[in-house]
Amino acid sequence: MRAVGFHSEPPENSTALGTAIDGHRFSSSRNRLHPRVEIELYCERNSHQLIDWYEPAVGETSNDFDARHDRYRKMIASFTGADAKLALVLVTDASQIAEDLETLVSRLLELDRLGTEVRCTDPDRPDALQSGEELLGLGDRSPQRQAKIRDAIVAKASRGEVLGRTPYGYRAGSDGMLKSVEHEAAIVQEIFQTYAGPWHSPDSKPLGGLGMRAIARSLNERGQVTRTGRPWSALAISGILKNRTYLGTYSRYGVRIAGNHDPLVDRDIFIRAENVTKSRTPVRKQRLEPPYLLGGVARCNLCGRGLFGLTRRRSWKRNDGTSVEKTYRYYECPSRNATRERTDLGPRHVSRSARDLELIVFNVIGGWGKRIKKKIQPDLGYSLAEEIVDAEREFSRAVRSVAAAYGTLGDLRSPLKRLRDARTASVGKNVQQPDIEAILIDIRSDDISIAKTAIRSILERVIVSDNSVEVIPRL
């Protein structure tokens, strides 16, 4: 595989390779080989063809972030230009390619979109995100504590032991390994066999059997429930069909062990099910959902929990054969259980149309007279700070999760965008003397981040039920 070396540790002398010890050159600033030597040795051991170098110029310091940025952009240009040659990016650790975790995630995502990745030559931390989580810091945990936690997790993973929640069909044995659960294993096998359908010849289309919704409905009609006691859903069936654990493969925290435990599904059935899913998955354009304006402000009147935004799409065909698709946006209480509340005559946790609820709030604000406006104490600075803190917290949680192999790099796009939007909204804002009339105009802004910040600056909260809305200003 083609590879390029990238590092930001400056040359220490004219040889740019530090002090020679036993035939190898070491960096005097750390007890490891100099980055250039370390990357070259890594390529030799892994049969990579090193085609280019991106390293500091003589006189450049490790804190020269502008020079590092220019060097990174030069590398990206080589991957995207007319004579582009895509290659694996090799670094000794994540601190060589980024100065902070946010920059690292942004660059990892950019390289992922191009079709390549960053790999660390450090044998203890080959994954760039895990390396960045440790070296660039995360949340209020010290790097030392993070290292201890990670070492314990990696040690368990290297032995193929259970980490986190066990997949349906398995339990954690006394030795920490995955053991099959007879009843659940039978359900898993039934799901795969039903969905994959009968075998077809290689040159025929894999039509498969029943769909995910039909399988879930069949299980529910027979009284079968998930491990948490809930009815089966198409989403739960999809999660099982994608899980390679059922092939006997263990994959956690950068560790992958084939044949680690007893498989529940034959490989040919798993692959057949995979092909059925591909044949049934329509190609859709990527959608970017706008944020919900009342997020962090709207609360359920029954339990007081914050409402979250929920998007549903429905499509159907008219009598004339034309297709119609409609998107529905809601604010919904996380405590709501629609199935149970259909038959429950008591108070219900709220679910309201986003458009209707936002219109009601706008109308209430628009009806405020001079007396209320004079009493309002807008706290634009607090709202901005609060939004940034919330965004940083969400970003940190997402990085921890993906670094621990719960999710993919793509799951970091949304938290990163929210963090950057929150910071952008804070630029140039006058938090000392907020203008209430200007804020009321900002509420109707086409820029969602500006409108959301304005709403949070003048509203304490919005208490919502199915038939009432109470708008409480900051007084």
Q: Which CATH number is 37's domain given?
A: 3.40.50
| Backbone Cα Rg of the chain | 27
Report which DSSP code applies to 96: G
Residue 407 lies in a domain: no
Cβ proximity of 249 and 178 under 8 Å: no
Residue 38 lies in a domain: yes
> How much of the chain exceeds pLDDT 70, in percent?
76
- E strands in 67-177: 88-91, 118-120, 170-172
- Specify the pairing of strand 178-180 against strand 250-252: unpaired
Domain boundary among 280, 309, 330: 280
Q: Give the helix/strand (H/E) hosting 474.
A: none
Residue 53 lies in a domain: yes
Domains: count for the chain: 2
Cβ proximity of 75 and 99 under 8 Å: no
Q: pLDDT tens digits, residue range 444-470?
A: 877 777 788 788 888 888 999 888 899
Q: Which CATH number is 203's domain given?
A: 3.90.1750.20
What distance in Å separates the CA atoms of residue 93 and residue 143, rounded to the nearest whole number?
14
Q: Is 339 exposed, middle or buried (0-12, 13-18, 19+ CB in 10 A)?
A: exposed
Residue 297 lies in a domain: no
What does the pLDDT average to over 6-28? 50
Q: What is the pLDDT of residue 448?
A: 76
- E strands in 101-169: 118-120
Q: pLDDT tens digits, residue range 278-299?
A: 887 665 555 556 778 888 889 9
Cβ proximity of 317 and 331 under 8 Å: no
What's the predicted TM-score (pTM) here?
0.44
What does the pLDDT average to over 336-354? 74
- Domain that includes residue 199, residue range: 170-280
The answer to whether residues 133 and 186 belong to one domain is: no
pLDDT band at 436 (very low <50, low <70, confident <90, very high): confident
What distance in Å separates the CA atoms of residue 408 and residue 399, rounded to the nearest whole number?
10
Q: pLDDT tens digits, residue range 361-385?
A: 999 988 888 888 888 877 655 455 6
Selected residue with higher pLDDT from 388 and 106: 106
- E strands in 362-418: none
The answer to whether residues 263 and 204 belong to one domain is: yes
Residue 211 lies in a domain: yes
The answer to whether residues 132 and 178 belong to one domain is: no
3-state secondary structure of 97: coil
pLDDT band at 192 (very low <50, low <70, confident <90, very high): very high
pLDDT band at 76 (very low <50, low <70, confident <90, very high): very high
Cβ proximity of 169 and 443 under 8 Å: no
What distance in Å separates the CA atoms of residue 104 and residue 399, rounded to the nearest whole number?
11
Residue 473 lies in a domain: no
Amino acid (1-letter code) at residue 10: P
The residue written with tokens 């609360």 in the block is: 299
Selected residue with higher pLDDT from 403 and 200: 403
Cβ proximity of 246 and 169 under 8 Å: yes
**Most confident among 150-154, 160-164, 256-260 (mean pLDDT):** 256-260
Q: What is the pLDDT of residue 30?
A: 46
Q: Is 249 exposed, middle or buried (0-12, 13-18, 19+ CB in 10 A)?
A: middle
The answer to whether residues 53 and 113 belong to one domain is: yes
What the block records as the tokens of 105 is 């995630």
The answer to whether residues 134 and 57 belong to one domain is: yes
The answer to whether residues 132 and 210 belong to one domain is: no
The answer to whether residues 57 and 106 belong to one domain is: yes
Cβ proximity of 169 and 180 under 8 Å: yes
Q: What is the dihedral of CA 74, 75, 80, 81, to 10 degrees?
A: 50
Buried b (16+ CB within 10 A) or exposed e, 132-168: bbbbbebeeeeeeebbeebeebbebbeebbbbeebbb
The answer to whether residues 124 and 206 belong to one domain is: no
The answer to whether residues 107 and 17 belong to one domain is: yes
Cβ proximity of 395 and 415 under 8 Å: yes
What the block records as the tokens of 361 is 């709030």
Mean per-residue pLDDT of the chain = 78
Q: What is the pLDDT of residue 153?
A: 54
Cβ proximity of 259 and 178 under 8 Å: no
Residues 6+ apart with CB under 8 A from 223: none
Q: What is the pLDDT of residue 255?
A: 53
Residues 6+ apart with CB under 8 A from 373: 436
What distance in Å separates the CA atoms of residue 180 and residue 168, rounded to the nearest whole number?
9
Residue 312 lies in a domain: no
Report which DSSP code applies to 299: E
Domain boundary among 116, 139, 162: 139
Domain boundary among 280, 295, 314: 280
The answer to whether residues 134 and 175 belong to one domain is: no
Can you say whether the dihedral through the CA atoms of 384, 390, 394, 399 is positive or negative? positive
Residue 296 lies in a domain: no
pLDDT band at 399 (very low <50, low <70, confident <90, very high): confident
What distance in Å separates the CA atoms of residue 146 and residue 135, rounded to the nearest whole number?
10
Task: Answer yes or no: is pLDDT of 139 > 50.
Answer: no
Cβ proximity of 216 and 230 under 8 Å: no
Q: What is the pLDDT of residue 257?
A: 62
The answer to whether residues 31 and 127 belong to one domain is: yes
Q: What is the pLDDT of residue 341?
A: 60
What the block records as the tokens of 230 is 């809930």
The answer to whether residues 90 and 175 belong to one domain is: no
